[in-house]
Structures are given as C-alpha cells and as structure tokens.
Amino acid sequence: MTLSKIWVYVEATDGKVSSTALEILTKTRELADTVEAIYSGADGDAIAATLGAHGATTVHTTGDLGSALPGVPVAAAIAEAASAGAPDAILFATSYAGRDIAGRLSVKLDKSVLTNGVDLALDGDSLAVVEPVFGGATNVTTTFVGEGPHLVLIRPKSFVAEEGGGGPAAVNTITVPDTGAAGGAKVIERHVEERQGPQLEDAAVVVSGGRGLGEAEKYQMIEDLAKLLHAAPGASRAIVDAGWVPYSYQVGQTGKVVKPTVYIAAGISGATQHMVGMKGSKNIIAINKDAEAPIFSISDLGIVGDVHKVIPALIEALKARG
Ligand SMILES: Cc1cc2nc3c(=O)[nH]c(=O)nc-3n(C[C@H](O)[C@H](O)[C@H](O)COP(=O)(O)OP(=O)(O)OC[C@H]3O[C@@H](n4cnc5c(N)ncnc54)[C@H](O)[C@@H]3O)c2cc1C
C-alpha cells in the first residue's frame, strides 16, 4: 500500500538541486505512486531532468520570485495549488526556506507539521515520521491521522540520494496569489562563505576538533590533518561558541549532519547533541585523553591520548608517506 501523491519542496542554487531535496525525493519514491516537486525559481526547466531522475514526474514552479523572501509567496502558491493537486503530504528539507514555508502553510491549511524527521514509513495507509528526541537518545514515530496534506520537515542526510531512472519532470507553472504587504520582505544581500577543499556535508572524510584542543590557534592542527586527508574540517559547538571557528563548521543537532566514510573527533567529549550530527558516519575515530569520554561509546577506533601529541604524530606519518 502506498500513498497516492506526495509533493516535495526542492531548493536549488545556480542550477544545482540541493542534496537534501534529492535525498527526500529518493525516499518518497517508496511511499507514493506519484511524486511531484515544488520549486520557486526561474530555472525550473534546467533542473527538471535532475528532479525526474530522482523520481519527480512533474515540477510545479512559481517561476522567478525576484528578490522576494520565499516564505510568504511560496506558502500562498502551494496552499492554492494543493487544493487542486490534492497531495497526501508535502515534504520539506529542514532549511531556512523549508521551515518558513512549512510553518506558514500549516496556518493556511490548518494542518500540523511534524518537524525534525529522520525517517519516513507507511503505517497502513498513513504516513509515519520518525524523529529523534532527548538530543538523539531515542526515536519517536508519529503517524498522521485524518485528511492531508500532511506537512513534514526532514533533516539533511536522512536518506541516500539515488537516481531511479525517470525521464525529465514535466514543468507546470503555478500562480502566486497577491500576498499584499505580508509578501514584502526582500532578500537584499547574500553572503557566500568562501571555503576551500571539500564541503562538510559532502566530504568522504571529516576531521572535527573540540574544546580539548585547548586554544583557538591549535585548530590549525585540524586544518592541517584535514588537508592531508583531503577531508573537510568540522567542529563541536563549544569551539564555535568560543569563536575559534565559524558556525558553518559546526556538526550536530544545531549544526550540520554529516555521514562521511571516516569521521575523526579530536578533543570532543561526545555530547548527544554532537553525536546526533555524526553518528551515522561509517567509521568513527575518536582521540580523547579521557578513556571514559562518551564519544568512545560510538567509536570504531578509539585513541586514548593527548591531541597535542597524537595529531602532530599523525600529520608527520602522513607527510612521510608522501
Ligand atoms: C540545544 C543544544 C544544542 C546543541 N547543539 C550542539 C551541536 O550542534 N553540536 C555540538 O557539538 N554541540 C552542541 N551542543 C553542545 C553540547 O551539549 C556540548 O556542550 C558540546 O558538544 C561540547 O563540545 P566539546 O566536546 O568540544 O567540549 P567538552 O564537552 O568540553 O569536551 C572536551 C573533551 O576534550 C577532551 N580533552 C581535553 N583535553 C584534551 C587533550 N589534550 N587531548 C585529548 N582530549 C582532550 C576532554 O576529555 C573532553 O572529553 C548543544 C547543546 C544544546 C543544549
């Protein structure tokens, strides 16, 4: 038994569909007979092939919204389209736009939103959403009851994106109703943070540092090790809050979710809020001077030692290998 139709709100930058949108589309193929995408941007045609390959048969697009902040106009457009399109559920990534639109849509449609989803399943003919609680210590499964469309926010890296072999999605324009002054908020500037090397979310290897590094200058060791391993450097919230590295480095509940092949945690205790962002990594290596540190409970390889000795030794060994 599958649902008849699910919509997935997708975001794209410079013609590249966000990885979370592709992950959600992939999972949705298992849940519904028809998967359709919703997009707000001028280049719906350019992304139709990627969306189709990941399972969307149609992309409903608002077209170019100019500099408008998407929340208000997109929620209004989806609310109107949903009454005709009748999706059983509308899924969003846990992104700024996704949260904004889902919240507004909840009010417009008078439907509740389940947030922080990490898995989706069918419970009879209803959609069930799994979400972690107590900082990721346990999961709760909630099944929607009643009429859709049910609204769900899904965390990045909850699923693996895979193409399903579909042809390009058909592009259908949906109208954006006049939202008056409510839709007046504009994006006046975008700041793209320059980052060299692999991106944290996509890297096969991540090397993260925590408060155990002792001082901001010692984060350079993490950068050096990451460079040698072609890895992305990451961080615990403790050192982001301390201003040692930017927020974009943060891994965890309120940072990024990563699932690399190898995750190295150096001087990180393993608070549940950190672990929820990296425990899906294939191989976890922890370096901590405290043998009782919680991070060792989820590590495949634990090194009980001082980061100031272990990391320089690792760097030296890697350099010696050339
Ligand atoms: C709502 C909420 C959301 C949060 N979100 C996040 C999040 O997204 N990401 C996140 O990371 N945290 C998050 N936190 C914070 C989290 O609870 C922890 O405070 C934080 O992860 C601790 O960072 P840490 O492990 O670097 O520091 P600490 O907990 O202080 O651990 C430092 C570790 O380094 C070890 N150490 C010390 N010196 C050395 C040495 N010389 N060599 C080796 N090891 C050494 C110590 O034994 C210790 O285990 C959140 C908290 C809350 C309440």
**pTM to 2 decimal places:** 0.85
The pLDDT of residue 52: 98
Q: Is the CB of 221 under 6 A from ligand 1?
A: no
Q: What is residue 201's predicted lDDT score, i.e. its pLDDT?
A: 87
For residues 272 and 16, give the distance between their C-alpha atoms in angstroms, rounded to a whole number.
33
**3-state DSSP call for residue 170?**
strand
At residue 247, the pLDDT reads 93
Atom 42 of ligand 1: nearest residue by CA position: 306
Kind and range of the H or E run holding 75: helix 71-85
Which one is the CATH code of 3-184: 2.40.50.140, 3.40.50.620, 3.40.30.120, 3.40.1780.10?
A: 3.40.50.620
Q: Please list the ranges in the chain whose pLDDT falls under 50.
A: none
Cα(252)–Cα(136) distance, integer angstroms: 10
- The ranges assigned to domains in the chain are 3-184, 205-321
Compute, in angstroms, the gap from residue 273 CA to the centroid of ligand 1: 9
Q: How far is the CA of 61 from the centre of ligand 1 (A)?
A: 43
What pLDDT is recorded for position 85? Answer: 86
308 in ligand 1 pocket by Cβ < 6 Å?
yes
Q: What pLDDT shows up at residue 107?
A: 97
pLDDT given at position 278: 95
Q: What residues contact 5, with CB distance under 8 A and at least 6 apart?
A: 32, 33, 34, 35, 36, 85, 86, 87, 88
pLDDT at 136: 76
Q: Ligand 1 center to residue 153 CA distance, Å?
A: 27
Which CATH topology does 205-321 take?
Answer: Rossmann fold (3.40.50)
Q: Which two tokens stand for residue 219?
A: 């984060």
Model pLDDT, residue 322: 75
Q: From start to end of the chain, where are the E strands? A: 3-10, 12-13, 16-17, 32-39, 58-61, 89-93, 113-117, 119-123, 126-133, 138-143, 150-154, 170-173, 205-209, 232-235, 262-266, 283-288, 301-304
236 CA to centre of ligand 1 in angstroms: 6
Pocket probe mutation, ligand 1, options 253, 258, 264, 303, max atoms within 8 Å of Cβ = 253
Whether 3-184 shares its CATH topology with 205-321 is answered yes
CA of 132 to the centre of ligand 1 (A): 20
Chain segment 75-125, per-residue pLDDT in tens: 999 999 999 889 999 999 999 999 999 999 999 999 999 999 999 999 999
The whole-angstrom separation of Cα 318 and Cα 322 is 7
d(C-alpha 82, C-alpha 80), whole Å = 6
